[in-house]
A = this chain, B = another copy of it.
Amino acid sequence: MIVVLSAQGDTTDDLIAKAEEINLNASRREMDMLLATGEQISVALCAMALEALGLPCVSLTASQAGIYTTDLHSDARIRRIAPDRIQAELDARRIVIVTGFQGVDRRGDITTLGRGGSDTSAVALAAAFSADLCQIFTDVDGVYTTDPRLVPNARKLQEITYDEMLELASQGAQVLHNRSVELAKKFKVNLEVLSSLERKPGTKVKEVAKMEKTNIAGVAKDTSIARVAVMGVRHSPGVAFQVFDLMGRNNINVDVILQSIGREDSKDITFTIHKKDLREVEDILNSHKDALKFDHIESDEHIGKVSIVGAGLMSNSGVAAKMFEALYEAGINIQMINTSEIRVSVLLDEEDVNRAVKAIHAKFFDDI
């Protein structure tokens, strides 16, 4: 057994606060050096707890465990795992307790993996040691058909495919970070999401769930988005590319994109971004107004997105229709629609979002 741990409770936040007292612009290398102590404390204390139970064990830092990463501090990527030390400990029948969220670069400097880091560490180790199962213990007890705080009769899924999990996560379900799911998919690591507080089965994430599913996996919502419309763009090739190239170079994540066909010599380009990026996006676009030749910008922060996710959803045309029917019956107006192979998303007024989730969830799950 290999155990991967995050830092305890507020440790990371406390360390960041300490750093900010000293230097608001500390280098990422030194920040990684500092933050890595959080997980190191966790693994040492966990080893002591297992020792107290008489269980043979050993704690390892990422450096000792051989987790080599790129040298992009605070957002490093795992390059490879040198198995020697962990394998030796496993052979000696010890439980191996490894610091999550961190690695070491070629020079021996400590790196951290950024958001979702500890889950990613766990999946990478599961892949490297061909584990039968990688269990992710979290503050929820599994993946639900929708947010149980909003819809009390939301159901816990017994299993879900990697692709469904990826779509659910990117559409707002904050159970697992996409990065760890992508890695699990790539190396076919069987995942299970389960509660760290209760002993009961969670949700299994695997390549193929039930062979023929008749229903969607879940309904997700996201109200952290804003919509930006670039109005009156000249109808010249490459303008859309220019806009999204600008966003990419400024590290702005763009989600739903819609390009109207509109009038003969001009068109509108509409897209959604994270709310926090709105001012920056407006500034970027306005400072390139001459080059992009648009009329004006319209933006809206009061929108939300509701999505249904399910393997094989788009090959069953009745599914999308059922979603639209639920929204129609609830009298909710759809602003934009966006689809992928296993997902249908609609953009709505922010105030309609919760009602939409309830209506759609009832339509798909109440009669089962």
Determine if B63 and A48 form an interchain contact, defined as CB atoms under 8 angstroms apart: no
Chain B CB within 8 A of A246 CB:
no
Determine if B37 and A33 form an interchain contact, defined as CB atoms under 8 angstroms apart: no
Query: What number of copies of this chain does the assembly contain?
Result: 2
Determine if B52 and A44 form an interchain contact, defined as CB atoms under 8 angstroms apart: no
Interface residues of A in 51-96 (CB under 8 A from B): 51-52, 58-59, 61, 63-64, 85
Determine if A51 and B63 form an interchain contact, defined as CB atoms under 8 angstroms apart: no
Chain B CB within 8 A of A47 CB:
yes
Report A252 CB to chain B, min CB distance, Å.
28
Q: How far is the CA of A47 from the CA of B37 in the complex (A)?
A: 15
Q: Which of B34, B40, B44 contacts A44 (CB under 8 A)?
A: B34
Q: Which of B22, B33, B52, B110 contacts A52 (CB under 8 A)?
A: B22
Q: Which of B23, B43, B85 contacts A48 (CB under 8 A)?
A: B23
Determine if B64 and A48 form an interchain contact, defined as CB atoms under 8 angstroms apart: no
Report A319 CB to chain B, min CB distance, Å.
51
Given contacts A37-B41, A108-B64, contact A30 B18 (CB under 8 A): no
Chain A interface secondary structure, helix, strand, loop or mixed?
helix
Q: Which of B22, B31, B41, B43 contacts A49 (CB under 8 A)?
A: B22
Determine if A51 and B37 form an interchain contact, defined as CB atoms under 8 angstroms apart: no
By size class, the interface of chain A is 35 or more
Determine if A85 and B64 form an interchain contact, defined as CB atoms under 8 angstroms apart: no
Chain B CB within 8 A of A19 CB:
yes
Report A73 CB to chain B, min CB distance, Å.
12
Q: How far is the CA of A238 from the CA of B316 in the complex (A)?
A: 96
Chain B CB within 8 A of A26 CB:
yes
Q: Which of B22, B44, B108 contacts A30 (CB under 8 A)?
A: B44
Most chain B CB within 10 A, of A19, A41, A52, A59, is at: A41
Q: Which residue of B lies closest to A26 (CB)?
A: B48
Q: How far is the CA of A235 from the CA of B114 in the complex (A)?
A: 74
Chain B CB within 8 A of A109 CB:
yes
Given contacts A63-B63, A108-B64, A109-B64, contact A40 B33 (CB under 8 A): yes
Determine if B34 and A51 form an interchain contact, defined as CB atoms under 8 angstroms apart: no
Chain B CB within 8 A of A176 CB:
no
Q: Which residues of A contact B (CB under 8 A)?
A: 15, 18-19, 22-23, 25-27, 29-31, 33-34, 36-37, 40-41, 43-45, 47-49, 51-52, 58-59, 61, 63-64, 85, 107-110
Pairs A–B under 8 Å by Cβ, sample size 16: A18-B41, A19-B44, A19-B45, A22-B48, A22-B52, A23-B48, A26-B51, A27-B48, A27-B51, A33-B40, A33-B43, A33-B47, A34-B40, A37-B37, A64-B108, A85-B107
